[in-house]
């Protein structure tokens, strides 16, 4: 995973993680307490279309990867 400084900061200081799937009005969002939990969630789809965001305690967020 190649992250810029801001993304790395959000990942290192993430207090929760969000998985987003779909397009437009059909977009869904699931919140998780850990990156591992997001990874487990994304495994059920196995299509690299789950966008993963790290969120800090201050509300900063960054796209980390697609799983």
Which pLDDT value is given to residue 57? Answer: 97
6 pLDDT exceeds 80? yes
Answering whether pTM is above 0.95, one says: no
Which pLDDT value is given to residue 64? Answer: 97
Taking CA atoms, 26 is separated from 20, 21, 23, 30, in Å, by 11, 8, 6, 13
Which pLDDT value is given to residue 17? Answer: 98
Which pLDDT value is given to residue 66? Answer: 97
Per-residue confidence at 35, pLDDT binned at 50, 70, 90?
very high
Mean pLDDT over the full length of the chain: 96
């Amino acid at each position: 995973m190649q992250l810029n400084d801001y993304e790395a900061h959000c990942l290192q200081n993430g207090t929760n993680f969000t998985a987003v799937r779909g397009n437009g009005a059909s977009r869904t969002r699931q919140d998780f307490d850990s990156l591992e939990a997001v990874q487990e969630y994304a495994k059920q789809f196995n299509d690299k279309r789950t966008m993963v965001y790290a969120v800090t305690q201050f509300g900063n967020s960054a796209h980390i990867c697609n799983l």
